[in-house]
Amino acid sequence: MIKFSEPGADLFIPGGGSIANALSRTSHLAIAAHQDDIEILAFHGIAECYQQAERGFCGVVVTDGAGSPRAGDYAEYTDEKMQEIRAEEQRAAAKLGKYSAQFQLAYPSHQVKNTPALSLVDELEEILIKTQPEVVYLHNPMDKHDTHVAVFLKSLAALRRLPEKNRPKVVYACEVWRDLDWVCDKEKIALKSDEPRELALALLQVFDSQVSGGKRYDQAVLGRRLAHATFSHSHVVDDVKGVTYAIDVMPLLEDSMLTVEAYVQGFVERFAYSLTTTLAALSQD
């Protein structure tokens, strides 16, 4: 059994049965900062495993859910009450999506952002060892939410600890608080995120404390996925109705000397080069 550092942490097995069996079924795993982030960034993996006996999806939420915006019925709720509600919503999403397992590690956001949080890296490493996923979904290091970036960095640290033979085959860094449509086409990865549409919508609407509490993620996320699919190619009829963009994290695992800063700067420089070369080619001066 994995030893948690935070007293509010828990492991939920939606389908029942033993923890060992649930974790061993994991083929796809997502590590995210907050409740509902998994359902935004990793729906591709959820759908890949949904009702598939040979595949299992495992979710890991790092923080305790404190400090979220609230309005309407939730306007007067304390942080402690909101944490309880958001944790229960995440368990409900895991049950609806038929996840093999759902971890909630309950770290305060400030601890993840402002300290080395070595206990968190230890826990993530142990989860990865116990589950041995083939595919991992993370936040992306260019996200504009500081907690998302911090969780990415802690996740990368855990992945880098793994022996090469035990590492995932694929690691995606996905969009939540900053779209990745600006990344050069040959570098960004379009993850099919349109079916089952009813499940995609229901998974977002489970988080009523956010949707009814002032943030219409259900509309915004599905709208972004559709927009990405529609605007991805100007001269091709849409063959999917929803896309989540991601980038490949494997270069950071294959080269331990590659810094995240250099990795990110590469995307920015290549994007800038593509813009300036297009402008130069089309200039009539």
What confidence score (pLDDT) does residue 234 get? 62
The phi, psi pair for 72, rounded to 5°, reads 60, -135
Distance between CA atoms of residues 70 and 90, nearest Å:
17
Domain annotation covers residue 270: no
3-state secondary structure 135-184: EEEEECCCCCCHHHHHHHHHHHHHHHHCCHHHCCCEEEEECCCCCCCCCC
Domain annotation covers residue 281: no
Distance between CA atoms of residues 39 and 44, nearest Å:
9
Distance between CA atoms of residues 24 and 129, nearest Å:
10
**Any idea which residue has 């504009």 for tokens?**
144
Are 160 and 256 in contact, with CB atoms under 8 Å apart?
yes
Provide the pairing of β-strand 26-32 with 135-139.
parallel
Domain annotation covers residue 25: yes
**How far is it between the farthest Cα atoms of the chain?**
70
C-alpha distances in Å from residue 228, one per residue of 91, 175, 241: 29, 12, 9
Q: What CATH number is attached to the domain comprising 230?
A: 3.40.50.10320
Domain count, the chain: 1
What confidence score (pLDDT) does residue 236 get? 58
Q: Which amino acid is at 118?
A: L
From the first residue on, what is the mean pLDDT of each consecutive set of 10 residues in the chain (285 residues)?
91 95 97 98 98 96 87 84 94 98 97 95 98 99 98 98 96 97 96 94 95 86 95 70 96 97 98 97 86
What confidence score (pLDDT) does residue 150 get? 98
Task: Quote the Cα angle for 90-119-121, to 5°.
Answer: 75
Domain annotation covers residue 200: yes
The phi, psi pair for 94, rounded to 5°, reads -60, -40
Domain annotation covers residue 199: yes
* Close Cβ partners of 184 (under 8 Å, ≥ 6 residues apart): 267, 270, 271, 274
From 127, 120, 124, 156, select the one nearest 6 (Cα to Cα): 120
Domain that holds residue 66: 10-251
Domain annotation covers residue 283: no
Respond yes or no on whether the N-terminal peptide bond of residue 196 is cis (omega within 30° of 0).
yes
Assigned token pair, 267: 């995307």
The DSSP annotation for 36-98 comes to THHHHH-HHHHHHHTT-TT-EEEEEEEE--TT----GGGTT--HHHHHHHHHHHHHHHHHHTT
Domain annotation covers residue 126: yes
From 38, 18, 31, select the one nearest 93 (Cα to Cα): 38
The angle that helices 146-161 and 118-131 make with each other, rounded to 10 degrees, is 60
Domain annotation covers residue 52: yes
What confidence score (pLDDT) does residue 214 get? 73
pTM for this predicted structure = 0.96
Are 170 and 2 in contact, with CB atoms under 8 Å apart?
no
